[in-house]
Amino acid sequence: MALFGRGKRRDDEPERGAGQAPEQAPVTGGEQSGPGAGVVNVRVQDALAVWAARKDAQTFADVMRRAADGELLLDITDSTIADLAHGLQRGDVLAIASQRDNAGKHLLVAFTSNEELARYRGRPGRSLVQPAAAALAQAVKDYEGIVIDGRSAGAFIAYADEIRQQFAGDPEALGRVAHATPSRSLPFAEYLELLGTSELFIPFESKADEAGNETGVIVPGVRGQDGAAYAVAGTAPAEIWAWSARSGAQRTGLAEIARAAVANGQAGVVINPAGPSVTIPIEALRPFAAPVTGSGGAPA
């Protein structure tokens, strides 16, 4: 099973630059009076406000997990687009703004609102609305990281290796699982089915004796309002570290979590304990804990 350590932070101050996106990229945003005008990613803004005051591994992970949700805006002010209402057409040029940090790393710039884009540029600009998880994936694929709200008090930089670590390499896939909760119009049975076919992550902490020699591993859990013990799992390493920055994150699956919860006498599992969380009771987990059998009826 893959093990993930704790995220690291760099606080380099970037310098502005410019980048070019492929010509076939879709245009769905516009000037501040256009389709992107009402986009405000409040969840990320709230996390950035905390980040402005406290820069540590836990707040870093909290920004990252929230940045995979909702939408972010990319700066396309320097593009040449004849008709915004009809999107990018042949002959148009879509230029997505980027910048380079003091070490020369090429970073995508993204914003939680058009107000933040205007603060960054010093004047109103034109934006492209993107699913936030897709913007993170683009920052890994086409750039060397991302800057979010680069002129705000909570200006945030995540490099490509940090994004891969926080999302186990795939922000889009893990973002879909993290935010497909029963509270978002998914029937509970379908949510369980989705979890059952997805990668999950559990926290772990090493135990050591007085001499500092590792003697074992602790898997932390939580107590519910009913006083019962629950296992904990995250849909991404970032979800674990936003809850417990000192823990490692081990890749696993719902079946393994269910079997351990049944064996340990736990009342269920809490998914994404940093919130918003989903509690799955042990009775709903039991079908996943059943051994897989082959055609002859024996355990496979």
- Nearest Cα neighbor of 18 from 96, 133, 121 is 96
29 vs 126, more confident: 126
Q: Which amino acid is at 144?
A: E
Rounded CA gap, 271 and 214, in Å? 28
pLDDT of residue 74: 95
Q: At what angle do helices 254-263 and 282-289 cross, to 10 degrees?
A: 110
Between residues 90 and 164, the one the model is more confident about: 164
**Angstrom distances, CA of residue 264 to CA of 89, 219, 282:** 60, 11, 11
Q: Is 214 exposed, middle or buried (0-12, 13-18, 19+ CB in 10 A)?
A: exposed
Count of CA atoms in the C-beta half-sphere (13 A) of 174: 28
Per-residue model confidence (pLDDT) at position 173: 77
User: pLDDT band for position 184 (50/70/90)?
Assistant: low
Residue 178: predicted pLDDT: 73
C-alpha neighbours within 13 Å on the C-beta side of residue 191? 19
Lowest-confidence pick of 2-6, 148-152, 288-292: 2-6
Which tens digit of pLDDT belongs to each residue from 145-182? 999 999 999 999 999 999 999 999 888 877 777 777 77
Alpha-carbon 9 to chain mean position = 16
Whether the Cβ atoms of residue 220 and residue 203 lie closer than 8 Å to each other: yes
Q: Where are the domains of the chain?
A: 3-175, 180-288
SS3 annotation, the chain: CCEECCCCCCCCCCEECCCCCCCCCCCCCCCCCCCCCCCECHHHHHHHHHHHHCCCHHHHHHHHHHCCCCEEEEECCCCECCCHHHCCCCCCECCCCEEECCCCCEEEEEECEHHHHHHHHCCCCCEEEEEHHHHHHHHHHCCCEEEECCCCCCCEEEEHHHHHHHCCCCHHHHHHHHHCCHHHCCCHHHHHHHHHCCCEEEEEEEEECCCCCEEEEECCCEECCCCCEEEEEECCHHHHHCCCCCCEEEEECHHHHHHHHHHCCCCEEEECCCCCCEEEEHHHHHHHHCCCECCCCCEC
Tell me the C-alpha distance between 139 and 148, whole Å: 11
> What confidence tens digit (pLDDT) does each residue in 238-268 have?
999 999 999 999 999 999 999 999 999 999 9
pLDDT in tens, 188-223: 888 999 999 999 999 999 887 777 777 788 899 999
- Share of residues in the chain with pLDDT > 90 (%): 60
pLDDT-derived band at 84 (thresholds 50, 70, 90) equals low
Q: pTM for the complete prediction?
A: 0.81
Tokens describing residue 97: 């703004």
Q: How many CA atoms lie less than 13 Å away from 266 in the CB half-sphere?
A: 28
> Is the CATH number 3.30.70 carried by domain 180-288?
no
